[in-house]
Structure 1
Amino acid sequence: MAKKGKKYQDALKKYDVKNFYDASEALGIVCDVATAKFDESVEVHIKLGVDSRHADQQVRGAVVLPHGTGKTKRVLVFAKGEKAKEAETAGADFVGAEELVQKIQGENWFDFDIVVATPDMMGVVGRLGRVLGPKGLMPNPKSGTVTFDIEKAISEIKAGKVEYRLDKTNIMHVSIGKVSFGKEKLFDNFKTLLDAVVKAKPASSKGQYLKSVTTASTMGPGVKINSLRIND
């Protein structure tokens, strides 16, 4: 493992890395120890007591953060006719159909952050499953990205909608804003995300649901959050 730089090492001295902190305090520490010359993103890493290999224990969804993420997402929409016009009016960055499939496949083009599609276009979008899937870009009804209500989908994404989903190790990684937000706004965003994740608890999930919760900035060390205080 690569040795961390001096700034990272100095940050570790400012708090007890073995301690568990209340969410607000933990987010305050993340802001205090962030030293990069750019406005670092703040991520939350949530490990759940489920087995994502089983379909009935998948945890996935999306939620609009009250203060947004601090990043404007580029939205690509697969739609035709009136829905394509609706997408353009609503502020989509790219709108199209088969020609976009060819562009992505032929040019390895990925100048977008999120993909939205009308249900009737999923047969076309499905051809991109092998390239969009591994990048987490495949539209999905659970995250509200497969819908005929294109205007609502785009407005929510632009307002700060984030998707949460488990990786293969049953951990979700979600950006909740920027260091410049300060701990109060970050806490609002964190609480909104966590409430959504708790509500999404599968009925088949047994035992402790929130296994661990950690937060960190882009370049900073992780700070453990006391998940027992925020458990359901």
Structure 2
Amino acid sequence: MSKKEKAKLVETAKKYSPEEAIKLVKQTSWAKFKESVDMAIKLDVDVKKGGFSIRGFVPLPHGSGKKVKVAVIAKADKLEEAKAAGADVMGAEDLIEKISKGFFGFDVVLATPDMMSQVGKLGKILGTKGLMPNPKSGTVTMDIKKVVTEFKSGKMEFRMDKGGVVHLLLGKVDFPEEHLVDNLKTAVTSVYKTKPSGTKGNYIKSITISSTMGPAIKIDQKELIEQDE
């Protein structure tokens, strides 16, 4: 089946159930490489308000298929803990200096509280890439082993972009359908939990998924969450 023929399988105005949508993502995938399955959640928020930010984490039950590189900034005893948990990059002052010179061989940065006074020097460098360790996000912690394990097992950070959209990687097209559905449902629930108190109406306006090169497929969010009208 050609690319155009596959695209015609999707009714652009229809909202599909999560199960139907995942099935269609697999059917409309056409690239020769192993495509990712991506989701975009449009939030009903006023993005014009300065300082307004939505971010959080989702523990994908079946992982994303992406190898997440975790960096840990800590003192010697905690670095041993990090190594045992599978961290990819580890160090203390030496790693801070390396990052300050442009090293970015990682996707997540964890730090222990006693190193934050020095990690603070990397604020502009890591902050612009959304990688600055933060107590609220759980990336500043003494429980290094636990947090490294979580990220290596599929925990992912998400944040709303300037257009009020949260983008998430759900996995690869060759994942079993039920695994992708599980990841999708968990991700939507995690994003919905970031709803600011006092927010009225439908916090989630729309949900679409697609493979890397495939067409966008709309999902009926009413099958996933109950929202206030």
TM-score by length of 2: 0.90
Q: CA deviation at 1:12?
A: 1.9
Q: CA deviation at 1:125?
A: 2.1
Q: Which moved more, 1:193-202 or 1:167-176?
A: 193-202
Give 1:71's aligned residue.
Answer: 66
Give 1:178's aligned residue.
Answer: 172
Which of 87, 92, 99 is matched with 2:94 structurally? 99
Give 1:211's aligned residue.
Answer: 205
Give 2:110's aligned residue.
Answer: 116
Identity fraction in percent: 49
| Cα distance in structure 1, aligned partners of 2:92 and 2:42 | 37
Give 2:120's aligned residue.
Answer: 126
Q: CA deviation at 1:102?
A: 2.1
Give 1:198's aligned residue.
Answer: 192
| Cα distance in structure 2, aligned partners of 1:229 and 1:98 | 49
Amino acid at match of 1:227: Q
Within 5 Å, give how 1:33-52 maps onto structure 2. Answer: 33-51=28-46
Asked whether the equivalents of residues 56 and 157 of structure 2 are also in contact (C-alpha less than 8 Å), the reply is: yes
Asked whether the equivalents of residues 63 and 196 of structure 1 are also in contact (C-alpha less than 8 Å), the reply is: yes
Asked whether the equivalents of residues 66 and 188 of structure 1 are also in contact (C-alpha less than 8 Å), the reply is: yes
SS at match of 2:176: helix
| Cα distance in structure 2, aligned partners of 1:69 and 1:147 | 24
Aligned length: 225
Structure 1 alignment gaps of length 5 or more: 1-6
Is 1:163 aligned to residue 129 of structure 2? no
SS at match of 1:88: helix
Superposed CA RMSD in Å reads 2.0
Is 1:151 aligned to residue 145 of structure 2? yes
Amino acid at match of 1:216: S
SS at match of 1:16: coil
C-alpha spacing 1:148/1:51, structure 2 compared with 1 (3 Å): farther
Structure 2 alignment gaps of length 5 or more: none
SS at match of 2:58: strand
Asked whether the equivalents of residues 43 and 205 of structure 2 are also in contact (C-alpha less than 8 Å), the reply is: yes
Q: Which has the higher helix share?
A: 1
Q: CA deviation at 1:50?
A: 2.1
| Cα distance in structure 2, aligned partners of 1:159 and 1:181 | 15
Asked whether the equivalents of residues 66 and 160 of structure 1 are also in contact (C-alpha less than 8 Å), the reply is: yes
Q: CA deviation at 1:24?
A: 1.4
| Cα distance in structure 1, aligned partners of 2:162 and 2:3 | 28
Asked whether the equivalents of residues 71 and 87 of structure 2 are also in contact (C-alpha less than 8 Å), the reply is: yes
Give 2:11's aligned residue.
Answer: 16
Give 1:87's aligned residue.
Answer: 82
Which of 18, 26, 29 is matched with 2:24 structurally? 29
Deviations 1:57-106 (A, max 9, x none): 64322121111111221110011131122112221111112222222232
SS at match of 1:219: coil
| Cα distance in structure 2, aligned partners of 1:229 and 1:96 | 46
| Cα distance in structure 2, aligned partners of 1:72 and 1:201 | 29
SS at match of 2:167: strand
